[in-house]
Chain A
Amino acid sequence: MKPLLVYWDVRGRATYLRMILHYAGVDFEDKRYKFEVTESQKAYSDYKKWFQEDKIKLQGILDFPNLPYYMDDTVRMTQSRAILEHLGRKHHLDGRNEQELFRIDMIYDVLADIGFILGEIAYPPPVENRQEIHDKTRKAYAETLPAQLASISKFLGSNDWMAGNHLTYVDFYAYDILDDNRKLFDPKHINQFPNLVAYLRRIEELKGVKEFLASPAFQPMLIMGPLALFGGSETRVPTE
């Protein structure tokens, strides 16, 4: 079967999976559940199809039905990190020695902590004052951003890639999280770190990745879903 990757029609947790597959030259089906925002600002359409039909049909096929999911002739997986690690092993984009393995894990964990917080900011708890909570948590995070980027920049150092001297799967994840930050917040923060700017450009130039990022399939500004309090629309001017 042609490998199948399924997710919502946004960047979310799929961009780095799409990137690694394009880099590896895999001819895969990039299936997306679409959002459609109505006049009353409720996003539905494929939303119902996923939650009320397809997710249920996948019980027994996927151990933990969820999006994204990935299927090919040998695996049926969910959890974006598990999928990315599998594709890393499969396409020779994994760590080659102990030092690389824990460098990859450590930077992945650090970036995942950031990704989690961005999600919390974008989707505050279901209470009336959620806009106010969003504004406060967004500002608090922005204040920590320079120091976080500084430690990531120091970790990368003069290496071309996060693991060291060769590309691995974590570089696609790092690209996505760092790019999320320069789209959701002022790019001036990341521009303070020339090695990070060069690193992102290096990834953007990779054959396969370059074409994907230039295509309509990438959707650079649609990081979160349409109901998110930031990152869910084409036009967003970062305020911090």
Chain B
Amino acid sequence: MAPILAYWDVRGIVTPIRLLLAYADVRYEYKEYEFQGNRAEWFEVDKIELGETLDFPNLPYYIDGRVQLTQSKTILAYLGRKHNLNAANEAEELRISLIIEQVSDLRLFISRVANPPVSATNRQEIHEKLRKEYLDSIPSRLGLIAKFLGSHNWMAGDHLTYADFLVYDVLDFHRLLFNPKHFNGFPTLVAYMERIEGLKGVNKFLDTMDKMPTHGPGVAFFGNSKDFKPKED
């Protein structure tokens, strides 16, 4: 039986896993839960039914026989080990763990910009303040990532690892939600993104992946439609 990967019908945090599976040419079932509406299929049915299978029922989940995982970083690292896309030595372990945490911080910042507290009455004001803080930080953040990559082809060094799929996705979120011009000063990052997009399996997946909102419609304040158009700044 093929493994199952499940998530909402948004980009969210699942794409790095799908990129890795596409590259590794793994046949799997992709189950999508509809985010718009009351999300009953997940919250009222499957989350409860999977309560004995999954330790922490959540989306994404990955089930392959007796391997039953949630948490996107856990799933990605597991598949990285399984498909020989992980660290080959201690130096690579250090690089992988450092860049994963660094881009995870960036993803969390984007998430804070996209999801001002639901209970606040001034979500627009909060969103704009955080958006400005985020954009002010971007040149230095991208600069440090570019410097870390240096003249390597991949984040770990000489070979592709699972970390590259996560870095790609976070940087791609920035391009989708903000202005790709921010990458103009960093040709090595642009080349890095193209290198990943050119990988066999990945290129075909990206060509056929449906256009989706990055964040959940009806809940997120920003990035919540597949036709979202970033501003110029």
Complex-state Cα separation, A155 to B52, whole angstroms: 11
The residue on B at minimum CB distance from A75 is: B94
Task: Contacts A86-B94, A125-B117 given; indicate if A106 touches B122 (C-beta within 8 A).
Answer: no
The residue on A at minimum CB distance from B101 is: A79
Residue-wise interface mask of A (115-149) relative to B, using a CB-CB cutoff of 8 A (1 in contact, 0 not):
01000100011110100110011001000000000
Stretch at the interface among B68-76, B168-176, B177-185: B68-76
Give the size range of A's interface with the partner: 35 or more
Residues of B near A108 (CB, < 8 A) are: 74
Tally of B interface residues using CB under 8 Å? 35
Task: Contacts A129-B122, A133-B120, A154-B55 given; indicate if A86 touches B97 (C-beta within 8 A).
Answer: yes
Contact of B2 with A by CB under 8 A: no
B162 → A minimal CB distance (Å): 12
Majority secondary structure, B binding face? helix
| Interchain pairs with CB closer than 8 A, number | 94
Residues of B near A106 (CB, < 8 A) are: 55-56, 69-71, 74
B97 → A minimal CB distance (Å): 4
The residue on B at minimum CB distance from A65 is: B144
A residues contacting B by CB (< 8 A) are 63-64, 75, 77-82, 85-86, 89, 98, 101-102, 105-106, 108-110, 116, 120, 124-127, 129, 132-133, 136-137, 140, 151, 154-155
B residues contacting A by CB (< 8 A) are 55-56, 67, 69-74, 77-78, 81, 90, 93-94, 97-98, 100-102, 108, 112, 116-117, 119-122, 125-126, 129-130, 144, 147-148
Q: A106-B71, A125-B129 are in contact. List 6 more A-B contacts (CB 8 A).
A: A75-B94, A98-B81, A101-B77, A101-B78, A125-B120, A129-B122
